[in-house]
Amino acid sequence: MDALGGTAGTATVLFAGTNVDDLVVLAVLSMSSRADGRPARWQIWTGQYAGTAALLVISLVAALGLTLVPDDWIWVLGFIPVLLGVRKLITAISAHRSGQQPSPAVARSLAGVTGLVIANGGDNIAAYTPVFRTLPGTGIAITCVVFAAGVALWCLAGAWLVSHHHVTRIVREWGHWIIPAAFILIGLWIFWKGGALG
């Protein structure tokens, strides 16, 4: 029983330590959802679970000795949020010039949310892989259960961070500028974490 508790504790620390920045992504997605309805709340939750599951599967495969994404190339995943942000920024500038109110949504679909989760967590594979190499089957199962609970907690926290009326009002007025800028910054953060910016 002590071993199970130790495994669960290690998994909790591993999840929290490698997914702190994911709270920012979830908060931005929740802002977009509150302001524009896109992505839908179910798409945020499902995309978060699908992206996290993909990262765990890749890490498990890597723990068996196969490398799907070399560590030196993790930074390439930063292009996903940067390109989404730039595209949305161009749309916002065009709408502003024509006097329209653009939508702040950047990731509008389940696939978009899942892609962002994988892009933001790509460097986590390097942390998960050695842990999975040392765990038996029960330890891996416990880790996956802890991660599932952690994803739910993170989704709730991301929604709570932007649940205040003042935040929602700001996003409605300025979200078409704030959200693309946030995604570009997330992409640059991934570049930095991956070593592309020195």
Which mean pLDDT values do the consecutive 10-residue runs of the chain (198 residues) have? 72 81 80 78 92 91 68 69 78 76 64 84 76 82 93 90 69 68 73 70
The pLDDT assigned to 33 comes to 79
* Non-local CB neighbours of 190 within 8 Å, separated by 6+ positions: 74, 75, 77, 78, 81, 119, 120, 122, 123
Question: How many C-beta atoms surround the C-beta of residue 184 within 10 A?
Answer: 20
- What's the DSSP call for residue 93? H
Please indicate, yes or no, whether the overall pTM of this predicted structure exceeds 0.85.
Answer: no
Closest CA to 190 of 93, 83, 100, 112: 83
Q: Among 127, 124, 123, which residue's Cα sits nearest to residue 195? A: 123
- Res 172: pLDDT: 62
Q: Residue ranges of the domains in the chain?
A: 2-192
Residue 101: the pLDDT is: 61
